[in-house]
Structure 1
Amino acid sequence: MTARLTMSARLARVAVVAMTTVGSLLPLGAGVAHAAPEPGIALPPGVVKLNDGEPCPPFTLCLYRDYNNRGPAYGIGEGYNVDLRDLPMPGGVHGSTAANEVSSWVNNTRGLATLVDLEGERLRPLFPGRSLQEPAETNDTVDIVHWMR
């Protein structure tokens, strides 16, 4: 019985390592159907457009215009620093880009993302595996996503 449990534990660890390795080798959004970017708009490297309210894929930092992970959304691959002023955001209150328009975040990566507010000169960490519904005082303030290394 002990030998069988030990073998099962080893197989489980091998499966986890294999899945982690394969996941890190796949390009952002591989195997997932995402929304097409607007015609004529090139997204920054490492960014995919998500369908409105689409769940955040693995190995991705997701941002949503509205609370509760709703509305227009984007996924950012771990390690890609992104200026949100480069992402179109339809229906925004503060402008036509994602800068100062994001209310929900999901960090499904293994990295520490920093949410940067240029106007308020604030930096806020978003740790791996965490989600954030912006509190009123910081809602719609993020301009840049920067990764800590």
Structure 2
Amino acid sequence: MPSLSTALARALTVTAATVALAGVTALPGAPPAAAAPLPPGVVQLGDGEPCPPATLCLYRDYGFSGPAYGIGAGYAIDLRWLPMPGHGGPTAADNVSSWVNRTAGVALLIDEQGGRTRPLFPGQHLEEPVPLNDTVDRVVW
């Protein structure tokens, strides 16, 4: 017969697996779950890393700094797919203050709540004006 500690460890393992399947990342004190892979066409950048060629880059903070991602030209991305803890929430949606478009295409920055779509032209750098800061939810081309 298993000891109480062995039975408890098994129960916690089953509970953690069930919670993970339900979409909860971890129980308090449990090791962190593996990060979900990024969508195709997206790379994570280091804090303040310059935007690579042929890439649309988004930065959480003004000054092209803080957590950042690069999106390859032509990839439509829902920013809720990109983890980015900050004052706007746990993802990049409604949490981006700076943009750089190093692609040859026009990226459309979509704010679903405000009903706005704004173009970001090739070669353009943008630090969001205060009224529009932290409002973009999706990027399409």
One-letter identity of the residue aligned with 1:40: A
How many residue pairs are counted as aligned between the two chains? 109
| Matching of residue 40 in structure 1 with residue 35 in structure 2 | yes
One-letter identity of the residue aligned with 1:126: L
After superposition, residues 63-82 of structure 1 pair within 5 angstroms as 63-82=58-77
Match in the other structure for 1:133:
127
TM-score in terms of structure 1 length: 0.71
Please point out which of 78, 84, 98 is paired with 1:104. Answer: 98
For 2:55 and 2:66, how far apart are their aligned partners in 1? 17
Deviation at 1:41, TM superposition (A): 1.7
Deviation at 1:105, TM superposition (A): 0.1
For 2:35 and 2:132, how far apart are their aligned partners in 1? 32
For 1:68 and 1:45, how far apart are their aligned partners in 2? 26
The CA deviation string for residues 88-131 of structure 1, in whole angstroms up to 9 with x for no partner, is 003x1121000000000000000000000000000000000000
Match in the other structure for 1:119:
113
One-letter identity of the residue aligned with 1:104: S
One-letter identity of the residue aligned with 1:105: W
Identity across matched positions, percent: 66
Runs of 4+ in 1 over 3 A off after TM superposition: none
Please point out which of 46, 50, 53 is paired with 1:58. Answer: 53
The CA deviation string for residues 11-65 of structure 1, in whole angstroms up to 9 with x for no partner, is xxxxxxxxxxxxxxxxxxxxxxxxxxx9422101100000011000000000000
For 1:96 and 1:74, how far apart are their aligned partners in 2? 14
TM-score in terms of structure 2 length: 0.75
Structure whose CA Rg is larger:
2
Higher strand proportion: 2
SS at match of 2:130: coil
For 1:76 and 1:43, how far apart are their aligned partners in 2? 10
